[in-house]
Amino acid sequence: MREILELLEKDSTLGHDTLATMTGRSVAEVTAQVEEWERAGVIRRYKAVVDWEKVDGDSGEVTAFIDVAVTPARGVGFDDVAERIARFDEVLSCYLVSGGHDLRCTVVGPNIRAVSDFVSRKLSTIDRVQATATHFVLKTHKRDGDSFSDPEPDHRLPVTP
């Protein structure tokens, strides 16, 4: 059954009939399993990865990775602060990481000023947040496993009989 999840994670547009064919299972079995995973929260949502620069020449937003140093609390460690940060609409993701900081967050805003305001007015004012380091994304080359570079043209000569 893990194979179904791997296929959906790679391409969420695959229909249950296609998944059944690809995995050698019945459509009814695939449908029942996918519905159970959706109810249980195993499948969180379906999404499309869009290259907004190809749509209108500009992504329309600024993305930043923000590293956050946190003082852990007895009994909860970093979890309560991470959960509080994750509730902000500006935060796309929040991870507990190893290294010089404790959390790494992906944050979006309409412009650099908005991200800066988020860090200075919301993030850095949270109790136990000691420091932040903000890294703005200048260009996206690959996201969620999808390359944003145009494929190079094939320069090979055609073979003819």
CA 140 to chain centre: 13
pLDDT tens for residues 145-156?
A: 778 887 778 888
Task: Calculate ∠ Cα 6-7-9, nearest 5°.
Answer: 65
Provide mean pLDDT across the span 133-146.
88
Question: Is the predicted pLDDT of residue 1 greater than 90, yes or no?
Answer: no
Question: Is the predicted pLDDT of residue 91 greater than 70, yes or no?
Answer: yes
- Predicted TM-score (pTM) above 0.85: no
Query: Is residue 59 very low, low, confident or very high in pLDDT (cuts 50, 70, 90)?
Result: low
Cα–Cα separations (whole angstroms), residue 16 to 19, 29, 31, 39: 5, 9, 6, 16
* Ramachandran class of 56: left when φ > 0, alpha when ψ lies in -120 to 50, beta otherwise: alpha
| Higher-confidence position of 71 and 59 | 71
Query: Is residue 125 very low, low, confident or very high in pLDDT (cuts 50, 70, 90)?
Result: very high
pLDDT tens for residues 8-18?
A: 988 899 999 99
Provide mean pLDDT across the span 105-120.
96
Query: Is residue 64 very low, low, confident or very high in pLDDT (cuts 50, 70, 90)?
Result: very high
Q: Does CATH place domain 54-138 in 3.40.50.1100?
A: no
Question: Is the predicted pLDDT of residue 5 greater than 90, yes or no?
Answer: yes
| Higher-confidence position of 143 and 21 | 21
- β-pairing, 142-143 vs 129-136, is unpaired
